[in-house]
Amino acid sequence: MQKFLEAINNNASSEEIASIEIPERYRAAVVLQEEQEMFESLPSAEKDPRKSIHIQEVATPELAPDEAFVAVMASSINFNTVWTSIFEPLPTFGFLKRLGKDSIWGKRHDLPYHIVGSDAAGVVIKVGSAVRNWKPGDRVVIHCNYVDDQDPSAHNDSMLAANQKIWGFETNFGGLADLALVKANQLMPKPKHLSWEEAAVNALCNSTSYRMLVSKNGADMKQGDVVFVWGATGGIGGYAVQYVLNGGGIPIGVVSSKEKASLLNDMGCNNVINRKEKNYKFWQDENTPDESEWRRLGKDVRAMVGEDPDIVFEHPGRQTMGASVFIAKRGGLIMTCAATSGYMIEYDNRHLWMKLKAIKSSHFANYQEAYEANRLICRGAIQPILSTVHKLENVGEAAYQVHHNLHDGKIGVLCLAENENMGIEDMEFRQKIGEDKITMFRRHNA
């Protein structure tokens, strides 16, 4: 891939890039099928991505007509890479096996290693014969919605497609590598004012938050809505807060440290709850929820903004869902996309139906939603929330940081890019937006 790197750094033309031979092997972060039982008797917290993620050379797959190879300059850690690396709730090799039965092209994915990663920024280096809108040399970011567009259920809202998958989690050949294999309809233009690592961290989390809050498929938030955001400086929360502020809503951000609270203030979110300081105990023991603690949180919210939330942005899952259902206003919406602390959920249904609340689910975003969310990044209306950067060799450690909630925002990973701050094409626009806004999470973590 070295030749591609040199060509990209020299701003080579599309023809020059197209003339470079695709290597037979490339460097990638993988988990191994033979190790999928390595953590079996351990509690989640002791399952260590540093032991299960390996950097190794892998064979380059064949390119299908509707696909592209991308030279990955940078990628990012998402929570799904944590799940894959600790083999929870299930090893991801089952997904690859199922995809393998799909078609001859699907068969390529069923391998004894899984190349992980669901985000990337880079350069298209080869396109399949059916690709029309992209060409070698195009600078792109990749979204992770992997759908078969010949399935009728994939039209209208492709997240409802029967065979919808998340690239790099339910498919192989993901973004934490020097090369990625993607469908052409996963490509989006790279924001010109961002470096490779700033551009690489957005697509998955930003698109998810866009669908959850802005899209009609999600909460369809309106001006003045009070939106309660768990994990407000985390991956999806950091974008959620920006959408609430941009859309004229009133965010209440929950975080677990003074440093994160100050970061939220800098983002323009003045209603901040430090859950560590408040020491809410929503569970008396593992099986007994404590309604009085839900009430305490509800009172804290009312004291802060004078009313109950129209929308609760929910993802911690078992630990918080009872409280989330309780604090939403009469007729309010609990918007959920995840269950980090446990997926078997308990809440008091009386608080839901007697107050006509609704729980709505969401999962990533369709191509249009991902494109709209990316467009807002390109226009400087949503900022990347890159906090720290690791090299590809260090992906295990980066995933460990996310697993143990030791990070803010997003962790970027340099793949082919040798250094940070490369790949910025439009410095004038960057300066117009303001370095302080673009690098806010980075500076807070310096």
Residues that bind ligand NAP (CB under 6 A): 78-80, 204-205, 208, 230-231, 233-237, 254-256, 260, 275, 315-316, 319-320, 337-338, 340-341, 363-364, 402, 405
Q: In the complex, what is the shortest distance from the CB of residue 402 to ligand NAP, in angstroms, rounded to a whole number?
A: 5
Q: In the complex, what is the shortest distance from the CB of residue 62 to ligand NAP, in angstroms, rounded to a whole number?
A: 29
Distance CA 128, CA 69 (A): 9
Q: In the complex, what is the shortest distance from the CB of residue 4 to ligand NAP, in angstroms, rounded to a whole number?
A: 30
What's the one-letter identity of residue 424? I
Looking at beta carbons only, is 124 or 229 nearer to ligand NAP? 229
Looking at beta carbons only, is 405 or 431 nearer to ligand NAP? 405
Q: In the complex, what is the shortest distance from the CB of residue 109 to ligand NAP, in angstroms, rounded to a whole number?
A: 20
Looking at beta carbons only, is 43 or 306 nearer to ligand NAP? 43
Q: In the complex, what is the shortest distance from the CB of residue 171 to ligand NAP, in angstroms, rounded to a whole number?
A: 15
Inter-residue contact 240 to 227 (CB < 8 Å): yes
Looking at beta carbons only, is 1 or 402 nearer to ligand NAP? 402
Inter-residue contact 223 to 247 (CB < 8 Å): yes
Looking at beta carbons only, is 108 or 315 nearer to ligand NAP? 315
Q: In the complex, what is the shortest distance from the CB of residue 432 to ligand NAP, in angstroms, rounded to a whole number?
A: 29
Looking at beta carbons only, is 104 or 344 nearer to ligand NAP? 344
Distance CA 52, CA 54 (A): 6
Ranges of beta strands (E only) in 93-236 are: 113-115, 120-127, 139-142, 145-146, 165-166, 179-183, 187-189, 226-229
Distance CA 1, CA 36 (A): 30
Looking at beta carbons only, is 69 or 210 nearer to ligand NAP? 210
Q: In the complex, what is the shortest distance from the CB of residue 2 to ligand NAP, in angstroms, rounded to a whole number?
A: 32
Looking at beta carbons only, is 119 or 148 nearer to ligand NAP? 119
Q: In the complex, what is the shortest distance from the CB of residue 398 to ligand NAP, in angstroms, rounded to a whole number?
A: 12
Length of the chain: 446
Torsion of CA 9, 11, 12, 18, to 10 degrees: 80
Q: In the complex, what is the shortest distance from the CB of residue 424 to ligand NAP, in angstroms, rounded to a whole number?
A: 25
Looking at beta carbons only, is 50 or 363 nearer to ligand NAP? 363
| Residues sharing a CB contact under 8 Å with residue 209, sequence separation 6 or more, in sequence order | 236, 237, 239, 240, 243, 313, 373
Tokens of 363: 């999962």
For helices 235-246 and 258-267, angle between their N-to-C axes, nearest 10 degrees: 30
Tokens of 52: 């299960």
Q: How far is CA 346 from CA 215, 219, 228, 252, 320, in A?
A: 27, 22, 19, 23, 9
Helix (H) or strand (E) holding 259: helix 258-267
Using the Cα atoms of residue 274, residue 209, residue 153 and residue 189 in order, give the sign of their dihedral.
Answer: negative
